Amino acid sequence: MSRDRRNGGGARGRAGGSPATGGRRTGPRNATLHGEAARSAGKGKRGAPAASKAPATKALVPGTAATKAPAAKGAARTGRPAAAAPKGATKAEQKAAASETLATGVQTLVVEADEADMRLDRFLVARFPQLAFTHIQRIVRKGELRVDGKRAKPNERLSPGQKVRVPPLKLEERPAPARSAAKDADDAAFLKSITLYEDKDVLVLNKPMGLAVQGGSGTKRHVDGMLEALRDAEGQKPRLVHRLDKDTAGCLVIAKTRFAATTLARSFRSRAARKIYWALVAGVPRVKQGRVSTYLAKEEAADGDARMRVAAHGDEGASHAVTYYALVDQAGQKLSWLSLKPVTGRTHQLRAHTAHIGHPIVGDPKYFNVENWELPGGIQNRLHLLARRIVIPHPRTGKAIDVTAPLPPHMQQSWNLLGFDASRYDPIVEAPEE
Options 201, 245, 364, 426, the catalytic residue = 245
Q: Cα angle at 216 between 136 and 167, to 5 degrees?
A: 5
245 has catalytic annotation = yes
Residue numbers annotated as active site: 245
